[in-house]
A and B are shown apart, each in its own frame.
Chain A
Amino acid sequence: MLNAEEWGIVALSLKVSACAMLGALPLAFALAYLLARGRFPGRILLDALIHLPLVVPPVVTGWLLLLAFGANGPAGRWLERAFGVTLMFRWTGAALAAAIMALPLMVRAMRLSIEAVDRKLEGAARTLGAGPWRTFLTVTLPLSIPGILAGLVLGFARSIGEFGATITFVSNIPGETRTLPLAIYAALQMPDGDAMVTRLALISVSLSLAALVASEWLARRSGHGRGGHVL
């Protein structure tokens, strides 16, 4: 099976992706809610911006992250000064890259499930004495939970596989930013790395497959039989 180094790579990948999902979840849900329910000028533009990482070459996204969060980038300098946090060449930067790349898929899945919530049920809750917040917490949110989970799982799968933006932004540093795909890439460059490539590739495929199956299963449960597909 895997040796200690490879387990370390898997553990780092899971840590990076888990943190990416934790950070992206509230933002993705807020954006999904805004797109599903909001009627404001610039909605189409916001929608397009969110989907940008899906279509722009990942290396470009990585370069933009470098510009913004690098040592001389405005966001990077602010984080350094305010919190003493550096993202460049750190695993936290890998998590940021993974979160940005996963965001479009997460927003998409969550938005579908929010749109599937029958607004008449919210009206019913209001007449029964629930204010807007309670209505959101007791009706809208629970009814969109399957889509939120589907978005999380899908985003997790996407972030596990994240390569281009990560290697551009935080490089390929063993033990710090060398996640599964980056380790596979590094092993491919080594003359005797074939066995390692095979093992790590198998791990990646099983992780992604499990996540996709889980996400489809959850999406089918949302919409109460009407079947919303995220893929």
Chain B
Amino acid sequence: MSFEVDATVARGKERLSVRFASKRGITALFGPSGAGKSSTLDMIAGLLRPLDGRIVVAGEVLFDSAQGIDLPPERRACGYVFQDGRLFPHRRVADNLRYGWKLAPPERRWMSLDVATSFLGIGHLLDRMPATLSGGEAQRVAIGRALLSGPRFLLMDEPLSSLDAPRRAEIMAVIERIRDELALPILYVSHDRAEVDRLADQVVELG
């Protein structure tokens, strides 16, 4: 099992319960906006605390209310690619990429900066500030930053939604390479059926 989630979270006055289990490869979380896709990723990353439940990824218990387990985000080793990139605006691209790499224990650094930059085609961007990047460039840097942090799994929150068609194809190819060459469990949020059909090994419908 790569992702096992059975958790309830408070969203304002409502309660949202999410329950699914998935096997290898890319699991797509599919559903209309407001169905709780991003909340689910935040719960798995540790940025949003569930009221109760249990979250296990690749065999490691990240959260379990019954056992009193709640790993802080920095100990979950997740590579989170946000919808809006969230690059650090005060750091150059190279420093954004190295941020998580430096913090990861050496044995978890399975990718080097050189490999990541050539894998993603961002070698020429290293000295730029994030504000000067195009949407596609920023998203590739964000993916690189997540991969370099030595993650055990990836969370991707609509990584294509801010891009035009040619860029989408480009990033989608990158995600397919991550799936095929790196064999990381990936939880992929989308509301686009075509995207999901092309990328996902398994689909979880929310809402």
Give the docked Cα–Cα distance between A126 and B155 (Å): 14
For window 62-101 of B, CB contacts with A under 8 Å fall at: 72-74, 76-80, 82, 84, 86, 88-90, 99-100
A129–B104 CB distance below 8 A: yes
Kindly provide the distance from the CB of A220 to the nearest chain B CB, expressed in whole angstroms: 15
**Interface size bucket, B side?**
20 to 34
- Whether B131 sits at the interface, judged by CB under 8 Å, is yes
Complex Cα gap A131–B72 (Å) = 8
- Is there an interface contact between A130 and B82, defined as CB atoms closer than 8 Å? no
Complex alpha-carbon distance, A121 and B45, angstroms: 14
Task: Answer yes or no: A23 CB below 8 A from chain B CBs.
Answer: no
A126 to B89, CA, bound (A): 16
Closest to A127 in B: B80
Does A128 have its Cβ within 8 Å of any Cβ on chain B? yes
Interface on chain A toward B: helix, strand, loop, or mixed SS?
helix
Pick the contact of B73 from A118, A121, A127, A134 — CB < 8 Å?
A: A127
A124 to chain B: which residues have CB within 8 Å?
80, 82, 86, 88
CB of B115 closer than 8 Å to a CB of A: no
Alpha-carbon separation in the docked complex, A124 to B157 (Å): 13
Whole-angstrom distance between the alpha carbons of A125 and B82 in the complex?
12
Q: 18 A-B contacts, Cβ less than 8 Å apart?
A: A121-B89, A123-B42, A123-B45, A123-B47, A124-B80, A126-B46, A126-B73, A127-B47, A127-B74, A128-B103, A128-B149, A129-B74, A129-B149, A130-B74, A134-B103, A143-B89, A143-B90, A224-B89
Contacts from A to B (Cβ < 8 Å): 118, 120-121, 123-131, 134, 138-139, 142-143, 224
14 more A-B residue pairs beyond the given contacts A128-B149, A130-B99, with a C-beta to C-beta distance below 8 A = A118-B86, A120-B82, A123-B42, A123-B86, A125-B88, A126-B47, A126-B72, A127-B73, A127-B76, A127-B149, A130-B74, A131-B72, A131-B74, A139-B88
